[in-house]
Amino acid sequence: MIPRLYIDAGLEPGAAAPLSDAQAHYLKNVLRRAPGDALHLFNGRDGEFAAEIAELKKRGGVAAIGEKTRAQPPEPDLVLYFAPVKRGPLETIIQKATELGVAALRPVITERVVAPKLNLDRLRAIAVEAAEQSGRLSVPSVDEPIKLARLLEGWPAGRRLLFCDEAGDDETLEWGGEEGRAAPLLDGLKSEDSSAHDWAVLTGPEGGFTPAERRLIRAQNFGMAASLGPRILRADTAVIAALALWQAALGDWRRG
Amino acid sequence: MIPRLYIDAGLEPGAAAPLSDAQAHYLKNVLRRAPGDALHLFNGRDGEFAAEIAELKKRGGVAAIGEKTRAQPPEPDLVLYFAPVKRGPLETIIQKATELGVAALRPVITERVVAPKLNLDRLRAIAVEAAEQSGRLSVPSVDEPIKLARLLEGWPAGRRLLFCDEAGDDETLEWGGEEGRAAPLLDGLKSEDSSAHDWAVLTGPEGGFTPAERRLIRAQNFGMAASLGPRILRADTAVIAALALWQAALGDWRRG
């Protein structure tokens, strides 16, 4: 297994790349690698490069950059807006959403959010590690939390919203067909123009969205509400299911 | 929140249902409930019943069964065959597959399985808890591990297999189109007769299937191989993604 590392620096064959303290520690003490051992490096824009460990010091190190091994592939511009949850499932969301190819992750504060203060640096480190292990050549951004109402007010023109409407509240809403229940997710996605828009997915906290929040989201003209089946999914399960369905219906899982 | 509990006994309005030691402890010490408080009970066959705590003792307790509140719904006969992985992701697989509505879970031993000895009682307890919290009225079975070759030899007539072929090995296989790569999962499922078969999903260990295993699985006439996109998914992520896609394309997520 050749370790893959994300480097926040330019990458060019023949140049040297700095290794961080954490990377040097990981290579030396966790993976037991030494100077001369092989690496793969990527920086999110220049593709993937073969490299070799040149130096491992107590703090940091240096890699010698070799040939480019993969070009930077195009990726879907898919944003995950998610209500933060407690630490275990929160970290699952970051890790799995990165594997599932989102371009950006942003916590959204809703009425029923019960979550600890977010440590964005820790969440970003989880995204980097998940990107390294998933073989992708980019790392999603983990952005500052935003309140639901502000997110909807400032919604970027042209981006479509897949709203995972886990309902629960027994209330008739106008949008989404029979008795206000959302349409099955795949039916909704199949009827979308597959190449016309950038997309976002919005998922709720463990307690779901309030009826007022659901009404507000459904009142927007950039969204589609979708159901994730008859059982109640945990917040992290809903994220993974929705992202997998989006990738399969409209994203890069359509290539073989 | 009214607690939902799975009871392995007959349920009939007016009768009494025994609560286990663990259930009594959970109600009394975790949820702080007392006699007179409301419950929902289900047993996997008779539907869901309103109930009331009648007695909470040091060990065990009794519930008084009231009216039936939901009929037992029909459920897809979907089996998950999964290569066991280390404890954290293994428990995620059991929990999430239960939320996603599988009827049975069975560990499959493949060449690259690196997993601790399985504690099936613990895994069954996780399935019960996930069923209680997901609102489903059944608990999937967690069956004894079986070796891959034996599973394929004794394959039940009429059941289709969705093989999550995460490839990785650079080898040309005959089955599945261009250069042996599996087709996108959704394309494969869309071309299936949606009501003709019971189904199973098969997922691999962290290291994937060996080339020989992939050839063996692809040689079976009851299977379809499918790709889960261009990134490498962890074992638990692949399980959740594949089950969500199956439910959306052929299962009970097709109802609104």
Provide the pLDDT for residue B138: 97
Subunit contact B229:A101, Cβ cutoff 8 A: yes
Residue B256 belongs to a domain: no
The band of B181, judged by pLDDT with boundaries at 50, 70 and 90, is low
The answer to whether residues B236 and A167 touch, using CB atoms and an 8 Å cutoff, is: no
Residue A254 belongs to a domain: no
| CA–CA min distance B83, chain A (Å) | 19
Indicate the average pLDDT of chain A: 91
Provide the pLDDT for residue B194: 66
Residues A32 and A122 both lie in one domain: no
CB of B147 within 8 Å of a chain A CB? The answer is no
The band of A176, judged by pLDDT with boundaries at 50, 70 and 90, is very low
Provide the pLDDT for residue A29: 94
Express the helix, strand and coil content of chain B in percent, nearest 5 each: 30, 25, 45
Provide the pLDDT for residue A183: 76
Q: Is pLDDT larger for residue A177 or for residue B42? A: B42
Residues B95 and B25 both lie in one domain: no
Domain end, chosen from A25, A45, A70, is at: A70
Provide the pLDDT for residue B123: 98
Subunit contact A244:B249, Cβ cutoff 8 A: no
Among A187-191, A247-251, B61-65, B89-93, whose mean pLDDT is lowest?
A: A187-191
Residue range B158-178: average pLDDT? 65
The answer to whether residues B185 and B178 touch, using CB atoms and an 8 Å cutoff, is: no
Subunit contact B255:A184, Cβ cutoff 8 A: yes
Q: Is pLDDT larger for residue B227 or for residue B172? A: B227
Provide the pLDDT for residue A181: 62
pLDDT tens-digit readout, A107-131: 999 999 987 799 999 999 999 999 9
The answer to whether residues B208 and B168 touch, using CB atoms and an 8 Å cutoff, is: yes
**Would you say residue B178 has pLDDT above 70?**
no
Provide the pLDDT for residue A192: 80
Residue A90 belongs to a domain: yes
The band of A177, judged by pLDDT with boundaries at 50, 70 and 90, is very low
pTM (two decimals): 0.93
Q: How many Cβ contacts (< 8 angstroms) between chains A and B?
A: 128
Residue B181 belongs to a domain: yes
Please report residues of B whose CB lies closer than 8 A to that of A227: 253, 256
Residues B14 and B140 both lie in one domain: no
CB of A249 within 8 Å of a chain B CB? The answer is yes
Residues A55 and A114 both lie in one domain: no
Residues 6+ apart with CB under 8 A from B46: B10, B11, B12, B68, B72
**Would you say residue B47 has pLDDT above 70?**
yes
CB of B136 within 8 Å of a chain A CB? The answer is yes
| CA–CA min distance A193, chain B (Å) | 17
Q: In sequence order, what are the beta bridge partners of A224?
A: A162
Domain end, chosen from B30, B54, B70, is at: B70
Dump the DSSP string for B229-253: -SSPPPHHHHHHHHHHHHHHHHSTT
In chain A, % of residues over pLDDT 90: 80
CB of A135 within 8 Å of a chain B CB? The answer is yes
The minimal CB distance from A255 to the residues B136, B230, B245 is found for B230
Q: Is pLDDT larger for residue B177 or for residue B183? A: B183
pLDDT tens-digit readout, A8-39: 999 999 999 999 999 999 999 999 999 999 99
Domain end, chosen from B42, B70, B98, is at: B70
The answer to whether residues B243 and B100 touch, using CB atoms and an 8 Å cutoff, is: yes
Residues B175 and B207 both lie in one domain: yes
Provide the pLDDT for residue A132: 96
Tokens of B154: 């004794």
**For B137, which residue in chain A has the nearest alpha carbon?**
A231
The answer to whether residues B63 and B51 touch, using CB atoms and an 8 Å cutoff, is: yes
The total domain count for chain B is 2
* Locus of tokens 């089950």: B243
Indicate the average pLDDT of chain B: 91
Residue A109 belongs to a domain: yes
Residues A18 and A101 both lie in one domain: no
Residues B208 and B241 both lie in one domain: yes
CB of B92 within 8 Å of a chain A CB? The answer is yes
The band of A179, judged by pLDDT with boundaries at 50, 70 and 90, is very low
**Would you say residue B176 has pLDDT above 90?**
no
Provide the pLDDT for residue B174: 45
Give residue A165's domain range: 78-249
Provide the pLDDT for residue A175: 44
In chain B, % of residues over pLDDT 90: 81
| CA–CA min distance A234, chain B (Å) | 8
Residues A82 and A53 both lie in one domain: no
Residues A51 and A16 both lie in one domain: yes
CB of B201 within 8 Å of a chain A CB? The answer is no
Residue B134 belongs to a domain: yes
To test the contact with chain A by mutation, choose from B201, B237, B252 the residue with the greatest count of A C-beta atoms within 10 A, namely B237
The answer to whether residues B161 and B202 touch, using CB atoms and an 8 Å cutoff, is: yes
**In CATH, what number is assigned to the domain containing residue B131?**
3.40.1280.10
Residue B255 belongs to a domain: no
Q: DSSP class of residue A118?
A: P
The minimal CB distance from A241 to the residues B136, B231, B240 is found for B240
**In CATH, what number is assigned to the domain containing residue A39?**
2.40.240.20
Q: Can you give B74-107 as a three-state secondary structure string?
A: CCCCEEEEECCCCHHHHHHHHHHHHHCCCCEEEE
* Locus of tokens 């997309």: A199
Among A62-66, A220-224, B170-174, whose mean pLDDT is lowest?
A: B170-174
Provide the pLDDT for residue B175: 43
Q: DSSP class of residue A47?
A: -
pLDDT tens-digit readout, B201-240: 999 998 899 999 999 999 999 999 998 999 999 999 999 9
A30: how many CB neighbours lie within 10 A of its CB? Answer: 9
Provide the pLDDT for residue A4: 96
Residue range B165-177: average pLDDT? 52
Residues B233 and B137 both lie in one domain: yes
Among A56-65, A72-81, B165-174, whose mean pLDDT is lowest?
A: B165-174
The band of A222, judged by pLDDT with boundaries at 50, 70 and 90, is very high
Residues B112 and B135 both lie in one domain: yes
Amino acid letter, B7: I
**Would you say residue B183 has pLDDT above 80?**
no
Provide the pLDDT for residue A167: 61
Residue B211 belongs to a domain: yes
Residues B63 and B123 both lie in one domain: no
